[in-house]
């Protein structure tokens, strides 16, 4: 898979600096970039003592000064921008980037993040800093399936659909890692492998039970795509068990599937302190040396945590061997060589990237573009877009000036965060009167009952109510300090105090625009009914306020689409701990949703016509071409997200009602049309049987093309009428 890294050059490397070529000798062969990575790794391992080898299996790998090996900390994050290491461009949270349905944009974001990552790494090393969050191995992206909106970390994912997650994830990984024939710009990671999506409070002891059909139909496709298509450099095991085995020591998932079936040749790490769960949560072993040996013997190459120092005792007790340590190092160390971390200064082309790229104007513009494309218009009774010279606006609500609603989790820092309030104020004309009052707290009733806000709504031409939730309420186990359920949500409705607040506003407001923030589905039918226009802005990053302003005042036309289904209420969901996919996500859900997957309106209108499918009777293994004409029949230039869904109507087993198999963004001027083509590959026609096997069966298939999931609910909410056809595999 990585032949570009395995080319053997001359043992004396010729380096080019400032137009001059010179030969350089190296004290040890592992320092010589002219040798193959295998030779360099083997040489380094041969020079390490057992204690030094064990140290290199830790996320905070210490320096080996006698060999000139610098310290390296593997733990770094860049979920939506370089995180936890000072100033960096903050892009929309992952779930918001998925709402763009734009793989080309995701690739550009990955490139921008990796440029900033290299710049920060170069500056850190030059100043002697090699600590946590300063390396080039990023533990991103999170490609778990967002199967239940109660999961607080669902915001880190690309939504509920395995195809969308795969396409967005592959584009992002390729952008992060780059396309240099020898060096990685940065190293990405697919996490959390596998079958992991809450509950947060039980993750250290929970056993996710899943059928082979659901495993291969829903939970594994994105991981497979990142490994086989994007050559993702790392994979992280989840905290939980899956079907009885811990995910950081899972023979089937780690050895049979990941290494053998998919041919993964990168490194595998535990989630942080997950090995402690082996004896304190899952209780599958009794001691730390047993936990360390179990993980190492199964191919967990790196320990994020504190357990692997126990390997010295594990070896003494005969639980594992030094040879097994060496095998794991051979899988772990190549990443550092692919990043060029053992090469002379200046030998790696990315050494020249300087700090001027960090939060540069180009990257800020990219963040604003992504935020604008992520915002989903859920309702518009002709109120939007507003005119910039409108007489008066009243901005209110708990998230209007709430910076945390921009940041989400795993975020970097900015000296120029633009809240929604600031974005709106920055768009208005000088004569426009803008008033602001927070009006309501985030998730509890106002302690002071005096109402000084609803009267303001009656005086303004338009009221913009900014509601929703933030990372304070939903997120990872210990970081959401306002969460009552360790980051998860027990209910998926809007906090009741916000609904009551909006009722008071609605009673007086002439026109009411609601902007919701959040990283997951919010069941809010009453908000939909009260609002004249409704926008869902996710956690839109540092430029989020400007992007909302762009949308509200028409400098950008809404084009975001929902990467998750919004149920009517939590009562429509199966039990949270149940990992079966029945009645979950748009592919299997029987109850009518509030907002369907893929849904999103525009200021303009689009029409689909002229569907052609060929061949109508393909032979098994033959691809099918689908073409459709899309026309902008409205008054604004806009972008349509064309979505292709497929249904196997003659399958021998239960299959999704319909499944996304393609999407494209098309920008059209009013009155313009474009002919758009998709290819349905044979693999897309395969079903997954009860054994988890992918099988291509003969029979009929339905094809749907439109701007949302092909449901009556989509049409009732104002989506363009989809077109449909069929073909039959002989």
Condensed to tens digits (0 to 9), the pLDDT of residues 338-350 reads 999 999 999 999 9
Predicted confidence at residue 490, as pLDDT, reads 95
Predicted confidence at residue 25, as pLDDT, reads 81
User: For residue 147, which phi and psi values (nearest 5 degrees)?
Assistant: -80, -20
Taking the CA atoms of residue 382, residue 675, residue 627 and residue 681 in that order, the dihedral angle to the nearest 10 degrees is -100
Is 331 marked active-site?
Answer: no
Please give the structure tokens belonging to residue 65.
Answer: 């000064």
Q: How far apart are the first and last CA of the chain?
A: 35
Q: What is the pTM of this model?
A: 0.96
Q: Got the DSSP string for 359-377?
A: T-HHHHHHHHHHHHHH-EE
Please give the structure tokens belonging to residue 397.
Answer: 């609500």
Q: CB neighbours of 357 closer than 8 A, spacing ≥ 6?
A: 115, 116, 119, 363
Q: Residues of the chain whose pLDDT is less than 50?
A: 1, 3-23
Is 255 marked active-site?
Answer: no
Q: Which of 148, 156, 271, 639 is catalytic?
A: 271
User: For residue 11, which phi and psi values (nearest 5 degrees)?
Assistant: -65, -15
User: In whole angstroms, how far apart are CA 198 and each of 107, 194, 214, 638?
Assistant: 28, 12, 16, 38
3-state secondary structure of 607: strand
Cβ-contact 46, 300 below 8 angstroms: no
Distance CA 235, CA 269 (A): 6
Phi-psi region of 61 (alpha: psi -120 to 50; beta: other; left: phi over 0): beta
3-state secondary structure of 266: coil
Predicted confidence at residue 619, as pLDDT, reads 95
Condensed to tens digits (0 to 9), the pLDDT of residues 657-667 reads 999 999 999 99
Q: CB neighbours of 40 closer than 8 A, spacing ≥ 6?
A: 29, 30, 31, 32, 337, 342
- Pinpoint the alpha helices (H) of 155-310: 162-177, 212-214, 221-228, 277-280, 288-298
| Domains of the chain listed by start with CATH number | 1-36 (no CATH), 195-322 (3.20.20.300), 367-588 (3.40.50.1700), 606-729 (2.60.40.10)
Q: Which of 474, 477, 488, 542 is catalytic?
A: 474
């Amino acid at each position: 898979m990585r032949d570009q890294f395995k080319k053997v050059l001359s043992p004396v490397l010729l380096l080019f600096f400032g137009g001059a070529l010179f030969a350089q000798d190296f004290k040890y062969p592992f320092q010589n970039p002219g040798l193959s990575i295998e030779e360099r790794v083997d040489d380094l391992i041969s020079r390490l003592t057992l204690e030094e080898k064990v140290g290199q299996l830790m996320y905070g790998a210490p320096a080996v000064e006698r060999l000139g090996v610098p310290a390296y900390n593997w733990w770094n994050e860049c979920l939506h921008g370089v995180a936890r290491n000072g100033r960096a461009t903050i892009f929309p949270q992952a779930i918001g980037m998925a709402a763009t349905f734009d793989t080309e944009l995701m690739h550009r974001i990955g490139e921008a993040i990796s440029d900033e990552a290299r710049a920060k790494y170069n500056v850190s090393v030059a100043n002697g800093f090699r600590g946590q969050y300063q390396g080039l191995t990023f533990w991103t992206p999170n490609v778990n399936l967002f199967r239940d909106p109660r999961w607080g970390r669902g915001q880190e994912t690309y939504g509920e659909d395995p195809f969308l997650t795969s396409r967005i994830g592959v584009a992002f990984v390729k952008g992060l890692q780059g396309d240099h024939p020898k060096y990685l710009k940065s190293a990405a990671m697919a996490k959390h492998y596998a079958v992991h999506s809450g509950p947060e409070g039980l993750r250290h002891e929970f056993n996710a039970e899943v059928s082979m059909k659901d495993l291969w139909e829903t939970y594994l496709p994105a991981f497979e795509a990142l490994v086989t298509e994007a050559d993702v450099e790392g994979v992280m095991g989840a905290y939980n068990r899956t079907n009885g085995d811990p995910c950081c020591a899972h023979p089937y998932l780690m050895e049979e599937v990941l290494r053998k079936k998919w041919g993964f040749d990168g490194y595998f790490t535990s989630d942080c302190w997950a090995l402690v769960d082996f004896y304190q949560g899952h209780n599958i072993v009794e001691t730390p040396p047993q936990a360390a040996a179990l993980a190492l013997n199964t191919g967990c190459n790196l320990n994020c945590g504190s357990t692997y120092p126990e390997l010295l005792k594990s070896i003494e007790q005969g639980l594992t061997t030094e040879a097994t340590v060496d095998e794991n190092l051979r899988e772990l160390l190549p990443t550092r060589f692919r990043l060029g971390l053992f090469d002379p200064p200046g030998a790696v082309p990315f050494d020249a990237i300087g700090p001027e790229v960090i939060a540069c104007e180009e990257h800020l513009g990219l963040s604003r573009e992504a935020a604008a494309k992520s915002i989903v218009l859920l309702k518009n009774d002709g109120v939007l877009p507003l005119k910039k010279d409108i007489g008066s606006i009243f901005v209110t609500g708990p998230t209007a000036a709430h910076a945390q609603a921009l940041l989400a989790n795993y975020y970097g820092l900015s000296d120029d965060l633009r809240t929604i309030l600031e974005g709106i104020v920055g768009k208005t004309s000088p004569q426009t009167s803008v008033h602001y009052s927070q009006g309501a707290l985030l998730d509890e009733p106002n302690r002071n009952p005096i109402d000084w806000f609803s009267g303001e709504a009656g005086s303004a031409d338009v009221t913009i109510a900014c509601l929703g939730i933030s990372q304070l309420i939903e997120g990872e186990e210990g970081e959401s300090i306002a969460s009552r359920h360790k980051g998860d949500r027990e209910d998926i409705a809007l906090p009741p105090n916000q609904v009551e607040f909006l009722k008071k506003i609605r009673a007086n407001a002439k026109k009411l625009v609601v902007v919701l923030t959040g990283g997951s589905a919010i069941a809010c039918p009453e908000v939909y009914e009260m609002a004249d226009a409704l926008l869902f802005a996710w956690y839109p990053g540092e430029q989020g306020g400007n992007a909302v302003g762009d949308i509200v005042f028409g400098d950008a036309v809404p084009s975001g689409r929902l990467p998750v289904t919004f149920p009517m209420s939590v009562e429509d969901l199966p039990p949270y701990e149940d990992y079966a996919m029945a009645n979950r996500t748009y592919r299997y859900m029987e109850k009518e949703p509030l907002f369907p997957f893929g849904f999103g309106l525009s200021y303009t209108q689009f029409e689909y016509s002229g569907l052609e499918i060929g061949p109508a009777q393909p032979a098994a293994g033959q691809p099918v071409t689908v073409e459709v004409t899309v026309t902008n029949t409205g008054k604004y230039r806009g972008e349509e997200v064309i979505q292709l869904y497929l249904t196997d109507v003659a399958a021998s087993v239960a299959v999704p009602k319909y499944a996304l198999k393609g999407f494209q963004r098309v920008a059209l001027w009013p009155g313009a049309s474009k002919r758009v083509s998709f290819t349905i590959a044979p693999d897309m026609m395969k079903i997954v049987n009860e054994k988890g096997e992918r099988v291509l069966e003969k029979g009929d298939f339905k094809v749907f093309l439109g701007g949302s999931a092909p449901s009556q609910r989509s049409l009732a909410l104002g989506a363009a009428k989809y077109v449909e056809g069929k073909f039959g595999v002989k």
